[in-house]
């Protein structure tokens, strides 16, 4: 990739420092730049003396939902699939109709497993014989009633069980992996259980550890394995050396190296991708799963805290089982580790609107309100409160950074208003500093912020550049809780990213109204995609951020403090625009930041004229995301297809022309001159 007039180019991902991404300018311009023809010049007039708009410091955040195996088999570092043997369990009120789950409200979901011990297989080699069976006798506890019985009839060869994880377990040479499991036997004759990390065929062993004395009633056992080789498609085996029966439950394997070294923690590479976005907030848990297929299937935070063997998993409405290992506590811990505020979404007293909602009776809504209050107490309450004490017992005595609570997700029924008012009154009276977010613009109701969602094709995003220009400045503030260009853009190509860049610049210039925004969905495992276009792809060992990721990273790491008034010539309607530009000022440095989206297939000469701002140096830093082919996509096989490129430009000043690449998003940082004099 070549930047015109550049003296130096480097891959932005390889030139980051502790201070942030290499030369990704905190650039900003306000206004709309449009041209009808490829050769027609564009002029951006930036007036620093005119009234300015303060940019929301919380504008760019993260939306996390358990979809596409974003957590289970993804961000959550657990390597064992179906660790608790509960994958066949149904939500209360649901039943089987052939291979379909059916709720009482007649919503149906496809079966999410192939057999009752999905993820596990019998291992019997060299004449050994045995069997495995899902059982519910003598359960480990009341939360997880099922376990796996391993019966060995002939131990003349290798015999036991194997688990392939989520499309393979990624083991890395020289790394430690910590295994824990609960086991029970019917007599006191001990088993010796050998755990091994091995190839998918079992022919190569990468690490082995033996657990002696496995006998008697339920007890937890632990060991650690050191990988001698790397394999992205490895498996775990548990084998025994004698005839008999052994029950197993909650079999868990974690890499020792988790993000920030947290126990029950997160996969470091995926979590680091989030950290690099420098998000102002993290929204959790969604999304449609907040409501669930029915009320029992909703996200219930109390089922997701404490020891993993006491957590109650559930089938996810996006088509797979979730263990609730990535629970409420882990989410709050992630927010703290990212330096981000927490935005938690609570259930409003009914299940997902779009899945034949089940409504709690009016007299039961108070129980849902209390569920939300208890969650807030867990996050924010003192250690002498009921749930604050539980947070402390779970290892975090200090309150977590929860600042926002949203009542429901995409709720559009008449019941919502009644329930919202009950939630708002209870929450605001106890936590007046929290921002409460509504799904709807409710008349004559206390709505401080409303959640807008925006999906569609690229044309609709470009056209929405000025969507909030005429919004009521005295009405509720806006949180664009879900946005994503997801139609006609493959699985997330450069065109989608450019359309989103223009849209986000439009949000930024309307910061009096739009305070927050987050892309959705965030993650997708390449082996199970339930939503067509997402931000970050991954498999067991690789990560591939899309172009949309780099747009948000460039903007979030280069957010101006003030938008400067900008006049763009010639001006046409947003829907017909080929070039968009928005500019602003970074107070700390005094630098002027100019950002330009060129959606056309032609390079464009952009004339930039400054007035009412301090003189700038001739040398400017430039970051460009571009490709001659707007349909290019980053994939796990080609993760670097489209990347930001950093360069230096030596011709800046109060009036200069910069050649912008075709199909590009460009940020120019115009550095303030020393002592007000351009060198």
How do the domains of the chain map onto residue ranges?
9-60+557-676, 94-104+114-255, 267-555
Judged by phi (left if over 0) then psi (alpha if -120 to 50, else beta), residue 451 lies in beta
94-104+114-255: CATH superfamily: Galactose-binding domain-like (2.60.120.260)
Confidence grade of residue 676 (pLDDT, cut at 50, 70, 90): low
Confidence grade of residue 19 (pLDDT, cut at 50, 70, 90): very low
Confidence grade of residue 107 (pLDDT, cut at 50, 70, 90): very high
Is 561:26 a contact under the CB 8 Å cutoff?
no
Instruction: Please compute the mean of the pLDDT values over residues 178-195 and round it to a whole number.
Output: 95
49: number of Cβ within 10 Å: 10
pLDDT at 27 over 70: no
Mean pLDDT of the chain: 92
Q: Give the span between the Cα atoms of 411 and 126, in whole angstroms.
A: 58
pLDDT in tens, 616-661: 999 999 999 999 999 999 999 999 999 999 999 999 999 999 999 9
Identify any residues that bridge with 528 across adjacent strands, giving them in sequence order. 525
DSSP designation for 74: I
pLDDT of residue 675: 63
Strands, E, within 468-564: which ranges? 477-487, 514-519, 523-525, 536-538, 543-545, 562-563
> Which class does domain 9-60+557-676 fall in?
mainly beta
Both tokens of 175, joined, read 């790394």
Of the chain, the percentage scoring pLDDT greater than 90 comes to 89
Q: Give the span between the Cα atoms of 560 and 587, in whole angstroms.
A: 8
pLDDT of residue 311: 97
Interhelix angle 365-380/386-393, rounded to 10 degrees, is: 50
pLDDT at 506 over 50: yes
pLDDT of residue 566: 87
Both tokens of 600, joined, read 């056309």
SS3 for 16-49 is CECCECCCCCCCEECCCCCCCCCCCCEEEEEECC
Confidence grade of residue 674 (pLDDT, cut at 50, 70, 90): confident
pLDDT in tens, 112-147: 999 999 999 999 999 999 999 999 999 999 999 999
Q: Is the dihedral of CA 194, 82, 371, 136 positive or negative?
A: negative
Is 440:408 a contact under the CB 8 Å cutoff?
no
Q: Give the span between the Cα atoms of 281 and 59, in whole angstroms.
A: 9
pLDDT of residue 22: 41
Q: Which of 548, 578, 563, 389 is nearest to 465 (CA)?
A: 578
Q: Is the dihedral of CA 33, 533, 286, 74 positive or negative?
A: negative
Q: Give the span between the Cα atoms of 661 and 632, in whole angstroms.
A: 15
pLDDT of residue 312: 96
Geometric angle at alpha carbon 147, from 393 and 295, rounded to 5°: 65
Identify any residues that bridge with 538 across adjacent strands, giving them in sequence order. 525, 543
Same fold, 9-60+557-676 and 267-555: no
Of the chain, the percentage scoring pLDDT greater than 70 comes to 94
Is 16:552 a contact under the CB 8 Å cutoff?
no
pLDDT of residue 413: 86
Judged by phi (left if over 0) then psi (alpha if -120 to 50, else beta), residue 205 lies in beta
**Lowest-pLDDT range of 226-235, 298-307, 389-398, 556-565:** 556-565
Half-sphere exposure of 625 (CA within 13 A, CB side): 36
> What CA–CA distances, in Å, run from 5 to 275, 382, 647?
32, 58, 9
pLDDT of residue 573: 87
pLDDT at 12 over 50: no
Confidence grade of residue 188 (pLDDT, cut at 50, 70, 90): confident
Is 512:653 a contact under the CB 8 Å cutoff?
no
267-555: CATH superfamily: Glycosidases (3.20.20.80)
Q: Give the span between the Cα atoms of 395 and 372, in whole angstroms.
A: 21
Confidence grade of residue 7 (pLDDT, cut at 50, 70, 90): very low
């Amino acid at each position: 990739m070549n930047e015109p007039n550049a003296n130096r180019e480097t891959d932005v991902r390889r030139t980051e420092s502790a201070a942030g991404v290499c030369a990704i300018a905190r650039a900003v311009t306000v206004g709309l730049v449009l041209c009808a023809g490829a050769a027609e010049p564009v002029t951006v007039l930036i007036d620093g003396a005119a009234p300015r708009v303060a940019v929301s410091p919380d504008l760019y955040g993260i939306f996390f939902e358990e979809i596409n195996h974003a957590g289970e088999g993804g961000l959550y570092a657990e390597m064992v699939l179906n660790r608790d043997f509960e994958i066949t369990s149904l939500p209360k009120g649901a039943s089987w109709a052939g291979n379909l789950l059916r709720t009482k409200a007649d919503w149906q979901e496809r079966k999410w497993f192939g057999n009752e011990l999905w993820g596990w297989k019998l291992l019997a080699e060299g004449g050994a014989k045995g069997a495995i069976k899902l059982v519910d006798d003598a359960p480990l506890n009341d939360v997880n009633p099922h376990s796996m019985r391993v019966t060995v009839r002939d131990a003349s060869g290798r015999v036991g069980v194997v688990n392939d994880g989520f499309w393979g377990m990624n083991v890395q040479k020289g790394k430690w992996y910590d295994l824990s499991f609960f086991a029970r036997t019917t007599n006191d004759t001990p088993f010796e259980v050998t755990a091994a990390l091995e190839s998918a065929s079992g022919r190569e062993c990468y690490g082995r550890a033996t657990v002696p004395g496995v006998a008697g009633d339920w007890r937890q056992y632990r060991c650690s394995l050191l990988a001698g080789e790397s394999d992205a498609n490895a498996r775990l085996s548990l084998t025994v050396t004698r005839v008999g029966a052994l029950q197993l439950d909650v079999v868990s394997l974690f890499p020792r190296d988790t993000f920030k070294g947290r126990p029950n923690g997160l996969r470091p590479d995926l979590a680091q991708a989030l950290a690099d976005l420098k998000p102002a907030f993290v929204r959790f848990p969604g999304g449609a799963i907040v409501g669930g297929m029915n009320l029992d299937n909703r996200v219930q935070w109390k089922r997701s805290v404490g020891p993993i063997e006491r957590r109650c998993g559930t089938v996810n409405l996006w088509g797979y089982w979730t263990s609730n290992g990535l629970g409420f506590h882990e989410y709050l811990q992630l927010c703290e580790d990212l330096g981000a505020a927490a935005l938690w979404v609570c259930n409003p007293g009914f299940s997902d609107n779009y899945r034949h909602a089940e409504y709690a009776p009016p007299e039961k809504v108070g129980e849902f309100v209390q569920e939300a209050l208890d969650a807030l107490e867990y996050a924010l309450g003192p250690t002498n409160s009921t749930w604050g004490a539980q947070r402390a017992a779970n290892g975090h005595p200090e309150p977590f950074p929860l600042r926002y609570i949203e009542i429901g997700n995409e709720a559009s029924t008449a019941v919502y208003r009644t329930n919202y008012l009950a939630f708002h009154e209870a929450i605001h009276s106890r936590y007046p500093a929290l921002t409460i977010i509504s799904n709807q613009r409710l008349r004559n109701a206390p709505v401080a912020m409303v959640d807008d969602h925006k999906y569609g094709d690229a044309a609709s995003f470009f056209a929405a550049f000025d969507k909030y220009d005429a919004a009521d400045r005295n009405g509720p503030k806006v949180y664009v809780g879900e946005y994503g260009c997801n139609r006609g853009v493959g699985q997330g190509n450069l065109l989608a990213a450019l359309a989103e860049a223009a849209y986000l610049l439009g949000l930024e210039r309307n910061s009096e109204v739009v305070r927050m925004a987050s892309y959705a969905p965030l993650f997708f495992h390449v082996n199970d995609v339930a939503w067509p276009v997402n931000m970050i792809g991954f498999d067991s060992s690789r990560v591939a951020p899309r172009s949309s990721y780099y747009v948000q990273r460039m903007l979030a790491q280069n957010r101006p403090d003030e938008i400067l008034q900008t006049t763009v010539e010639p001006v046409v309607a947003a829907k017909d625009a080929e070039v968009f530009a928005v500019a602003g000022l970074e107070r700390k440095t005094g630098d002027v930041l100019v950002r330009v989206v060129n959606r056309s297939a032609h390079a464009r000469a952009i004339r930039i004229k400054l007035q009412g701002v301090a003189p700038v140096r001739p040398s400017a830093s430039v970051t460009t995301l571009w490709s001659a082919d707007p349909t290019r996509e980053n994939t796990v096989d080609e993760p670097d297809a489209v990347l930001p490129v950093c360069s230096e430009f030596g011709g800046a000043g109060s009036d200069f022309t910069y050649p912008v690449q075709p199909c590009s998003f460009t940020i120019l940082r115009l550095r303030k001159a020393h002592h007000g004099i351009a060198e």
